[in-house]
Structures are given as structure tokens and as C-alpha cells.
């Protein structure tokens, strides 16, 4: 349909989805933006179109945990003569450590249904998108799959940060284990696909992100800063160059790797 390349981003209406979209729009990609939140996605699209009037933004409501829905989306894009050159698997459930939401995260009482929800989006949803769009990449000119991970996907959470005193015995709200399982699982998908499709010019890498400044409590921010050599959290627009690198020819000899951008937190 259009000469420029296309990128597809899941979880496009969240905190970082629009930033990933902006990053790729800056280097000329048209965007397929996927989410289940129609209203939020609509708002984000309006803002992006205002900033990048020469870029095509196509919103799609799709539950990535449903292979049937993702296949339907793929067929629709094919009819539109749109080929996905870059896939950004950004969608995930990330429980916020906010007492008002009553998240305890205690392993002893952690419900399997909650684990299934997190794994279903973070691992199964990521795999479905990789399977469907990655297969098409492998059948044509190749492409780049960018899986969005977290510093908690390569380390264990330091639960002491979740109490102002940093006394583990006083922590009431723990980061749920489902998040760690999901993010570590994404690394497994990345490494597997990187060798499976390498000979077909499909690259697959992890972008490992540190904590992003958002609406965290002052005590949580203070505690996290102590554990980051650069002594701050990331700005939400601070990962744009990393996305651009992984989507561009600049990373054409890179696959199966973790690109860690965390202010140095995982070095300690």
C-alpha cells in the first residue's frame, strides 16, 4: 500500500507503547498499533498523528492472547497489502506496587489464576505474535522482532524497595512472581527464535528496560534510586534510540541478545 516499511506494536496504548511508536515514526516507519483498550488507543493515535503527520497510524483492537484474533489481524493486513518488517512485543501485565490496589504478591497465597493471566499476556501473547508475524517475515525478506523485557527479567526483584524502611520483614506488597516468570520466559522465546530463523534473515532481540518514572510513591523512587548507579529512574522517552537501533540496519548482525538499558542497576 505504501512504500515505507511497517512496524507493529502491541500494548500500544500503555505508558511506553506510544514512545516506541514515536521512535519508529521518527525513522520513517508506518505503524500498526494494537491494544484491547479502544478509548486509550484512540487518544494516543490522535497525539501521534499530530506529531507525525506524514506517518500512517493504523489502530487495531486485538487480544494477542487469542491466536484466532491475531490471525484475523494478519489476514486483514495482508488484504491491505501491509507487510510487517518490525514487530515490537510490548504488551504485558505489570502489577503496580500500590497499596490501594491491594496487591500483596505473597508467594504463599499467590493465586494460580493471576499467574495464568500474566503468563498468558507476557509469554503466550508474545509467542503468538512471533509465530504469526515472524513466520511471514521468514517467508519474505526477513525482519526484526523486538521483545520488551525488564531488568526483572534478568535479575530477581529486590523486595526491600517496597517498604520505606527497606526492612524486608516489614514489606506487605511484593512484586508478584508472575512478572518474573513472564519476563524471564520472554528471554527464552528470544533466544529460541534467534537461532530458528537466523538463516532466513529474521532477527530477534530483547530490549531490557530499567524502571521508568511514572506514578510511583516517593519512598519507592528513593529506594530504587539507591540501587541505580546513575541515581535516577528512566524517562519514558529515554528508550527511543534503543528501539530505533534494534529496528534498523545498525543492528543487522545482532540477534538473540539482551540490550540492557537500566542505568546500571543490574551491574551491582
CATH code, domain with 78: 3.40.50.720
Question: For residue 236, with 0-12 CB atoms within 10 Å meaning exposed, 13-18 middle and 19 or more buried, which class applies?
Answer: middle
Residue where the block lists cell 499476556: 121
Q: Identify whether 189 is part of a domain.
A: yes
The x, y and z cell numbers of residue 211, run together, are: 524502571
In whole angstroms, give the CA distance from residue 131 to residue 8: 14
Range of the domain at 138: 6-267
The x, y and z cell numbers of residue 27, run together, are: 525513522
Contact 207, 261 (CB under 8 A): yes
How many domains are there within the chain?
1
Q: pLDDT tens across 27-59, in order? A: 999 999 999 999 999 999 999 999 999 999 999
Q: Identify whether 1 is part of a domain.
A: no
Mean pLDDT of the chain: 95
Q: Which residues contact 38 (CB under 8 A, 6 or more apart)?
A: 61
At residue 97 the predicted structure's pLDDT band, cuts being 50, 70 and 90, is low
Q: pLDDT tens across 154-188, in order? A: 999 999 999 999 999 999 999 999 999 999 999 99
Q: pLDDT tens across 210-268, in order? A: 999 999 999 999 999 999 999 999 999 999 999 999 999 999 999 999 999 999 999 99
What pTM does this model have?
A: 0.95
Amino acid at each position: 500500500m505504501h512504500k515505507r516499511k511497517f512496524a507493529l506494536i502491541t500494548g500500544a496504548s500503555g505508558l511506553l507503547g506510544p514512545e516506541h511508536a514515536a521512535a519508529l515514526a521518527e525513522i520513517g516507519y508506518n505503524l500498526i498499533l494494537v491494544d484491547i483498550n479502544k478509548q486509550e488507543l484512540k487518544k494516543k493515535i490522535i497525539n501521534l498523528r499530530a506529531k507525525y503527520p506524514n506517518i500512517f497510524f493504523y489502530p487495531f483492537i486485538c487480544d494477542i492472547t487469542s491466536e484466532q484474533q491475531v490471525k484475523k489481524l494478519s489476514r486483514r493486513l495482508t488484504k491491505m497489502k501491509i507487510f510487517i518488517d518490525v514487530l515490537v512485543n510490548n504488551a504485558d501485565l505489570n502489577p503496580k506496587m500500590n497499596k490501594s490496589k491491594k496487591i500483596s504478591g505473597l508467594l504463599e497465597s499467590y493465586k494460580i489464576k493471576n499467574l495464568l493471566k500474566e503468563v498468558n499476556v507476557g509469554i503466550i501473547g508474545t509467542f503468538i505474535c512471533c509465530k504469526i508475524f515472524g513466520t511471514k517475515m521468514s517467508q519474505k525478506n526477513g525482519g526484526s522482532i523486538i521483545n520488551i523485557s525488564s531488568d526483572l527479567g534478568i535479575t530477581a526483584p529486590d523486595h526491600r524497595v517496597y517498604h520505606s524502611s527497606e526492612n524486608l520483614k516489614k514489606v506487605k506488597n511484593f512484586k508478584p512472581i508472575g512478572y518474573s516468570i513472564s519476563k524471564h520466559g520472554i528471554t527464552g522465546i528470544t533466544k529460541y527464535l534467534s537461532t530458528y530463523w537466523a538463516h532466513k534473515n529474521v532477527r530477534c532481540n530483547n530490549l531490557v528496560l530499567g524502571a521508568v518514572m511514572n506514578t510511583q510513591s516517593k519512598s519507592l523512587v528513593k529506594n530504587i534510586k539507591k540501587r541505580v548507579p546513575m541515581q535516577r529512574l528512566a524517562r519514558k522517552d529515554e528508550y527511543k534510540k534503543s528501539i530505533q537501533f534494534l529496528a534498523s540496519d545498525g543492528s543487522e548482525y545482532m540477534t538473540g541478545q539482551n540490550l540492557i538499558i537500566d542505568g546500571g542497576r543490574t551491574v551491582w
